[in-house]
Amino acid sequence: MTDKYKYIGPLYDFLSTIYGGESIHNCKRAMLTNEYIKPGTKVLIAGVGHGKDAIRAAELGADVTVVDISETMLKKLQQAFANQPGQLKVRVVHADILTFDEFEQYDMVIANFFLNVFYKDFMLKLMHHLVRCVRPGGAFVVGDFAYPSGNPLKQLVQKGYWYIAAIIFYFASDNAVHEIYNYPELMKAEGLKITDTRHYRYLGMNCYTSVMGIK
Ligand SMILES: C[S@@+](CC[C@H](N)C(=O)[O-])C[C@H]1O[C@@H](n2cnc3c(N)ncnc32)[C@H](O)[C@@H]1O
Protein backbone atom coordinates (compact mmCIF):
# COMPACT_ATOMS: atom_id res chain seq x y z
CA MET A 1 0.00 0.00 0.00
CA THR A 2 1.45 3.38 -0.99
CA ASP A 3 1.50 5.76 1.96
CA LYS A 4 0.40 9.09 0.50
CA TYR A 5 0.66 10.69 3.95
CA LYS A 6 4.28 9.67 4.54
CA TYR A 7 5.58 13.25 4.51
CA ILE A 8 2.62 15.43 5.45
CA GLY A 9 1.03 12.85 7.78
CA PRO A 10 3.09 13.65 10.88
CA LEU A 11 2.08 17.32 10.57
CA TYR A 12 -1.56 16.74 9.70
CA ASP A 13 -3.30 17.75 12.94
CA PHE A 14 -0.86 20.63 13.49
CA LEU A 15 -1.64 21.98 10.00
CA SER A 16 -5.39 21.54 10.66
CA THR A 17 -5.06 23.75 13.73
CA ILE A 18 -3.20 26.45 11.80
CA TYR A 19 -5.71 26.31 8.96
CA GLY A 20 -8.96 25.99 10.92
CA GLY A 21 -8.24 26.62 14.59
CA GLU A 22 -10.22 24.37 16.92
CA SER A 23 -13.23 24.39 14.61
CA ILE A 24 -12.01 21.40 12.58
CA HIS A 25 -11.30 19.33 15.69
CA ASN A 26 -14.66 20.30 17.22
CA CYS A 27 -16.46 19.37 14.00
CA LYS A 28 -14.91 15.88 14.11
CA ARG A 29 -16.27 15.31 17.61
CA ALA A 30 -19.66 16.96 17.04
CA MET A 31 -21.80 13.81 17.33
CA LEU A 32 -19.60 12.11 19.91
CA THR A 33 -21.70 13.06 22.92
CA ASN A 34 -23.60 11.21 25.64
CA GLU A 35 -26.71 11.78 23.57
CA TYR A 36 -25.50 9.38 20.88
CA ILE A 37 -22.73 7.32 22.45
CA LYS A 38 -23.39 4.93 25.32
CA PRO A 39 -21.03 2.37 26.79
CA GLY A 40 -20.73 -0.41 24.20
CA THR A 41 -21.98 1.64 21.22
CA LYS A 42 -20.20 0.20 18.17
CA VAL A 43 -18.42 2.99 16.29
CA LEU A 44 -16.43 2.69 13.07
CA ILE A 45 -14.18 5.60 12.00
CA ALA A 46 -12.96 5.47 8.40
CA GLY A 47 -9.72 7.22 7.41
CA VAL A 48 -9.16 8.04 11.06
CA GLY A 49 -5.89 9.97 10.82
CA HIS A 50 -4.53 11.12 14.19
CA GLY A 51 -7.73 10.03 15.91
CA LYS A 52 -9.01 12.84 18.14
CA ASP A 53 -12.51 11.57 17.34
CA ALA A 54 -11.55 7.97 18.17
CA ILE A 55 -10.23 9.08 21.56
CA ARG A 56 -13.45 10.96 22.35
CA ALA A 57 -15.60 7.96 21.34
CA ALA A 58 -13.51 5.59 23.44
CA GLU A 59 -13.61 7.96 26.42
CA LEU A 60 -17.41 7.81 26.24
CA GLY A 61 -17.21 4.01 26.47
CA ALA A 62 -17.82 3.17 22.83
CA ASP A 63 -16.47 0.00 21.29
CA VAL A 64 -14.35 1.70 18.60
CA THR A 65 -12.87 0.33 15.38
CA VAL A 66 -10.70 2.60 13.25
CA VAL A 67 -9.45 1.98 9.72
CA ASP A 68 -6.72 3.81 7.86
CA ILE A 69 -4.58 2.96 4.86
CA SER A 70 -1.61 5.09 6.00
CA GLU A 71 1.01 3.62 8.29
CA THR A 72 2.25 7.14 9.07
CA MET A 73 -1.21 8.27 10.21
CA LEU A 74 -1.65 5.14 12.32
CA LYS A 75 1.72 5.73 14.02
CA LYS A 76 0.53 9.21 15.05
CA LEU A 77 -2.73 7.67 16.24
CA GLN A 78 -0.87 5.15 18.41
CA GLN A 79 1.25 7.97 19.87
CA ALA A 80 -1.91 9.91 20.71
CA PHE A 81 -3.39 6.82 22.39
CA ALA A 82 -0.18 6.31 24.40
CA ASN A 83 -0.50 9.87 25.74
CA GLN A 84 -3.98 9.19 27.10
CA PRO A 85 -4.48 8.17 30.70
CA GLY A 86 -5.81 4.63 31.02
CA GLN A 87 -6.37 2.00 28.37
CA LEU A 88 -8.58 3.01 25.44
CA LYS A 89 -10.73 0.32 23.88
CA VAL A 90 -9.90 0.82 20.21
CA ARG A 91 -9.37 -1.77 17.50
CA VAL A 92 -6.95 -0.46 14.87
CA VAL A 93 -7.18 -1.84 11.33
CA HIS A 94 -4.49 -0.97 8.79
CA ALA A 95 -6.34 -1.44 5.51
CA ASP A 96 -8.01 0.08 2.52
CA ILE A 97 -11.56 0.75 3.73
CA LEU A 98 -12.96 -0.88 0.58
CA THR A 99 -11.56 -4.22 1.77
CA PHE A 100 -13.27 -3.79 5.15
CA ASP A 101 -16.58 -5.62 4.85
CA GLU A 102 -18.20 -5.68 8.29
CA PHE A 103 -21.58 -4.79 6.85
CA GLU A 104 -24.57 -3.78 9.02
CA GLN A 105 -22.43 -4.12 12.17
CA TYR A 106 -22.03 -0.56 13.43
CA ASP A 107 -24.29 1.75 15.43
CA MET A 108 -22.36 4.72 14.08
CA VAL A 109 -19.99 5.02 11.11
CA ILE A 110 -17.98 8.23 10.91
CA ALA A 111 -16.23 9.78 7.91
CA ASN A 112 -14.46 12.93 9.08
CA PHE A 113 -12.60 14.92 6.44
CA PHE A 114 -12.25 11.62 4.58
CA LEU A 115 -14.64 11.75 1.64
CA ASN A 116 -13.26 15.09 0.41
CA VAL A 117 -9.99 13.33 -0.44
CA PHE A 118 -11.56 11.68 -3.48
CA TYR A 119 -13.07 12.59 -6.85
CA LYS A 120 -16.84 12.35 -6.91
CA ASP A 121 -17.40 8.95 -8.54
CA PHE A 122 -15.02 7.18 -6.18
CA MET A 123 -16.25 9.20 -3.19
CA LEU A 124 -19.82 8.03 -3.89
CA LYS A 125 -18.61 4.43 -4.06
CA LEU A 126 -16.89 4.89 -0.67
CA MET A 127 -19.92 6.55 0.88
CA HIS A 128 -22.12 3.67 -0.29
CA HIS A 129 -19.63 1.18 1.16
CA LEU A 130 -19.56 3.00 4.51
CA VAL A 131 -23.35 3.22 4.68
CA ARG A 132 -23.45 -0.57 4.18
CA CYS A 133 -21.41 -0.91 7.40
CA VAL A 134 -24.15 0.91 9.39
CA ARG A 135 -26.75 -1.36 11.02
CA PRO A 136 -30.39 -0.65 10.16
CA GLY A 137 -31.46 2.26 12.38
CA GLY A 138 -27.82 3.25 12.97
CA ALA A 139 -26.13 6.54 12.10
CA PHE A 140 -23.76 7.64 9.37
CA VAL A 141 -21.88 10.83 10.25
CA VAL A 142 -19.88 13.05 7.91
CA GLY A 143 -17.80 15.91 9.29
CA ASP A 144 -16.31 18.01 6.52
CA PHE A 145 -16.19 21.33 4.68
CA ALA A 146 -19.65 22.89 4.67
CA TYR A 147 -21.47 23.41 1.39
CA PRO A 148 -21.18 27.13 0.59
CA SER A 149 -24.06 29.26 1.83
CA GLY A 150 -24.93 32.91 2.31
CA ASN A 151 -24.50 35.74 -0.17
CA PRO A 152 -22.44 35.21 -3.37
CA LEU A 153 -19.37 36.97 -1.90
CA LYS A 154 -19.40 34.76 1.21
CA GLN A 155 -19.78 31.68 -0.98
CA LEU A 156 -16.83 32.78 -3.10
CA VAL A 157 -14.62 33.28 -0.04
CA GLN A 158 -15.73 29.93 1.39
CA LYS A 159 -14.86 28.19 -1.89
CA GLY A 160 -11.48 29.96 -2.04
CA TYR A 161 -10.75 28.82 1.51
CA TRP A 162 -11.49 25.18 0.54
CA TYR A 163 -9.41 25.34 -2.65
CA ILE A 164 -6.35 26.49 -0.68
CA ALA A 165 -6.48 23.24 1.33
CA ALA A 166 -7.42 21.12 -1.68
CA ILE A 167 -4.46 22.39 -3.71
CA ILE A 168 -1.98 21.97 -0.84
CA PHE A 169 -3.13 18.37 -0.35
CA TYR A 170 -3.17 17.74 -4.09
CA PHE A 171 0.58 18.35 -4.11
CA ALA A 172 1.31 16.87 -0.68
CA SER A 173 -0.70 13.64 -0.88
CA ASP A 174 -2.30 13.46 -4.32
CA ASN A 175 -5.79 14.25 -2.97
CA ALA A 176 -8.52 15.23 -5.41
CA VAL A 177 -9.30 18.84 -6.29
CA HIS A 178 -13.03 19.30 -6.79
CA GLU A 179 -15.97 21.49 -5.81
CA ILE A 180 -17.20 21.28 -2.20
CA TYR A 181 -19.54 18.31 -1.87
CA ASN A 182 -23.11 18.73 -0.68
CA TYR A 183 -23.01 15.88 1.82
CA PRO A 184 -26.57 16.23 3.20
CA GLU A 185 -28.00 15.86 -0.33
CA LEU A 186 -25.68 12.95 -1.16
CA MET A 187 -26.59 11.24 2.11
CA LYS A 188 -30.29 11.65 1.37
CA ALA A 189 -29.67 10.06 -2.05
CA GLU A 190 -28.18 7.08 -0.14
CA GLY A 191 -31.55 6.71 1.59
CA LEU A 192 -30.51 8.28 4.90
CA LYS A 193 -32.73 10.57 6.94
CA ILE A 194 -30.84 13.66 8.13
CA THR A 195 -31.52 14.08 11.85
CA ASP A 196 -28.79 16.38 13.12
CA THR A 197 -26.54 19.03 11.56
CA ARG A 198 -23.99 21.11 13.43
CA HIS A 199 -22.06 24.03 12.00
CA TYR A 200 -18.61 25.24 13.02
CA ARG A 201 -17.61 28.74 12.22
CA TYR A 202 -14.17 30.03 11.33
CA LEU A 203 -13.15 33.44 9.96
CA GLY A 204 -16.79 34.51 10.22
CA MET A 205 -18.00 31.75 7.91
CA ASN A 206 -19.81 28.44 8.44
CA CYS A 207 -16.76 26.55 7.22
CA TYR A 208 -17.40 23.09 8.63
CA THR A 209 -20.43 20.88 9.17
CA SER A 210 -21.11 17.61 10.87
CA VAL A 211 -24.14 15.82 9.44
CA MET A 212 -25.88 12.76 10.84
CA GLY A 213 -28.04 10.53 8.67
CA ILE A 214 -30.06 7.61 10.02
CA LYS A 215 -30.30 4.41 7.96
C1 LIG B 1 -7.67 14.04 5.01
S2 LIG B 1 -7.19 12.75 6.07
C3 LIG B 1 -8.40 12.86 7.36
C4 LIG B 1 -7.95 12.20 8.62
C5 LIG B 1 -8.94 12.29 9.79
N6 LIG B 1 -10.20 11.67 9.51
C7 LIG B 1 -9.13 13.70 10.24
O8 LIG B 1 -10.24 14.19 10.18
O9 LIG B 1 -8.16 14.30 10.66
C10 LIG B 1 -7.73 11.35 5.17
C11 LIG B 1 -7.35 10.04 5.82
O12 LIG B 1 -7.92 8.97 5.06
C13 LIG B 1 -6.95 7.94 4.93
N14 LIG B 1 -7.31 7.17 3.73
C15 LIG B 1 -7.22 7.58 2.43
N16 LIG B 1 -7.66 6.62 1.61
C17 LIG B 1 -8.04 5.57 2.40
C18 LIG B 1 -8.58 4.29 2.13
N19 LIG B 1 -8.83 3.87 0.88
N20 LIG B 1 -8.86 3.48 3.18
C21 LIG B 1 -8.61 3.89 4.45
N22 LIG B 1 -8.10 5.09 4.77
C23 LIG B 1 -7.80 5.93 3.75
C24 LIG B 1 -5.64 8.67 4.86
O25 LIG B 1 -4.56 7.82 5.14
C26 LIG B 1 -5.86 9.76 5.88
O27 LIG B 1 -5.49 9.35 7.17
CATH number at residue 100: 3.40.50.150
Please, what is the angle between helix 52-59 and helix 71-82, to 10°? Answer: 40
Q: With contact defined as beta carbons under 8 Å apart, do 93 and 51 qualify?
A: no
Q: Report if residue 148 sits inside a domain.
A: yes
HSE-up of 151 (CA within 13 Å, CB side)? 1
Does residue 3 lie in a domain region?
no
Report the distance separating Cα 43 and Cα 108, nearest Å.
5
Residue 81: inside a domain: yes
Q: pLDDT tens digits for 7-66?
A: 999 999 999 999 999 999 999 999 999 999 999 999 999 999 999 999 999 999 999 999
DSSP 133: H
Residue 1 forms part of a structural domain? no
Mutate which of 6, 97, 101, 114 for ligand 1? The one with the most ligand atoms within 8 Å of its CB, which is 114
Domain that residue 120 falls in: 9-214
Ligand 1 centroid to 91 CA: how many Å?
16
Q: Does residue 196 sit within a domain?
A: yes
Number of domains in the chain: 1
| Model pLDDT for residues 153-163, shown as the tens digit of each residue | 999 999 999 99
Identify whether 4 is part of a domain.
no
Would you say residue 158 lies in a domain?
Answer: yes
Q: Using the 8-state DSSP alphabet, how is residue 126 labeled? A: H
The three-class DSSP label of residue 124 is helix
